[in-house]
Amino acid sequence: MKPSESLKIDAFSMRIADIKGIELDRLHAHSLSVGWPHRAEDWQFLRESGHGFVALDEIGRVLGSAMWFEHGPDFATVGMVITSPRLQTLGAAQWLMKRVFDKIPRRDLRLNATRAARRLYLSLDFQPEKTVYQCQGIARVPTTESPAEASGDIRTLDASDIPAAIALDAAGFGVRRTALIEKLFAHSTGYGLFDGKKLTAFALCRPFGRGHVVGPVVAESDADAVAVVRPHIADHSGYFLRVDTHMDSGGFAAFLSHAGMPVFDTVLTMSLGKRLADFSNGGSASPKTYALASQTLG
């Protein structure tokens, strides 16, 4: 049954509107209301990268949002599912999610759930996968740690490296994200590890929230991941930096802590439908997604 276009809730009605028609300052205020760090510019990046709805009350206030980002015909990530605090337990988020389901039926879905939202997603049949560790702080180049040994040469990435980065990201993430990686390159500085002319690891960094975020990071080993993230640490030493990673131990996790980015918070990656290859037990030399593009984008 097709979900309704409006919802009567808590003595007033909400209606659906396309997120692309909402002023950025209203979206910014909406995420600030729940303590999320997204700037207006971050909202704009997301609107250009995906699709979404907002829930409006009778006088046009934004009380809820939900977005999705399609990667091919069979997979999408879901994010920016936000409801006004007083509506979180009154069915508004579930109503928004069912609208998303109606727009992207029969797709495998992935999202990153806050603690407050996990019960909602479990009720919608999402299954837990892995914890995401939100590592952030004032970046500093570690002085007590010996540099990890990586095999190859580090250099700055440019537009000619985009096809190789798309292929490497697909091998690590489990699905090809061509449009997203192209857009991230346009907004990011990137460093890559090369074995001759072959790209074997890369890390992108762009403005986000309180400072910058590093991600995605794709590499075959902790040493290679550290090697491509270290230049970003040097570039932003003394400034706020964030990395969202599934790695809870090992050389990469230790490096982030030593670089001034301890774990600040966690969310839980959850999936509906087929799980992607990035959480399978591949060989030690298989590319891995060491850091997410963001919690919203995956």
Tens of pLDDT, residue by residue over 228-237, are 999 999 999 9
Does this chain's domain 6-106 share its CATH topology with 133-291?
yes
Tens of pLDDT, residue by residue over 250-288, are 999 999 999 999 999 999 999 999 887 666 544 456 899
Does residue 10 register a pLDDT over 70?
no
Residue 241: which of 289, 204, 192 has the closest Cα? 204
Percent of the chain clearing pLDDT 90 (strictly above) = 78
The whole-number pLDDT of residue 89 equals 63
Does residue 90 register a pLDDT over 80?
no
The whole-number pLDDT of residue 279 equals 66
Is residue 9 within 8 Å of residue 90, measured between CB atoms? Answer: yes
The whole-number pLDDT of residue 230 equals 96
Is residue 277 within 8 Å of residue 162, measured between CB atoms? Answer: no
Does residue 9 register a pLDDT over 60?
no
User: Quick one: how far is CA 37 from the chain centroid?
Assistant: 13
**Angle (nearest 5°) at CA 166 between 135 and 285:** 70
Which tokens go with 83?
């409801």
User: Quick one: how far is CA 234 from the chain centroid?
Assistant: 23
Q: Count CA within 13 A, CB hemisphere, residue 298.
A: 32
Question: Domain 6-106 adopts which CATH fold?
Answer: Aminopeptidase (3.40.630)
Summarize the confidence of residues 142-170 as an average pLDDT.
88
Does residue 242 register a pLDDT over 80?
yes
State if pTM tops 0.85. Answer: yes
Tens of pLDDT, residue by residue over 37-65, are 999 999 999 999 999 999 998 888 898 99
Q: How far apart are CA 86 and CA 80, in angstroms?
A: 17
Of 115-119, 151-155, 266-270, the range with the highest mean pLDDT is 266-270
Q: How far apart are CA 83 and CA 81, in angstroms?
A: 7
Does residue 295 register a pLDDT over 90?
yes
Is residue 69 within 8 Å of residue 294, measured between CB atoms? Answer: no
The whole-number pLDDT of residue 91 equals 78
Confidence of residue 95 (pLDDT cuts 50, 70, 90): confident
Chain-wide mean pLDDT for the chain? 91
Q: Which CATH number fits domain 133-291: 3.90.1310.10, 3.40.50.620, 3.30.1200.10, 3.40.630.90?
A: 3.40.630.90
Does residue 19 register a pLDDT over 90?
yes
Q: How far apart are CA 201 and CA 164, in angstroms?
A: 10
Does residue 84 register a pLDDT over 80?
no
Q: What are the domain boundaries of the chain?
A: 6-106, 133-291
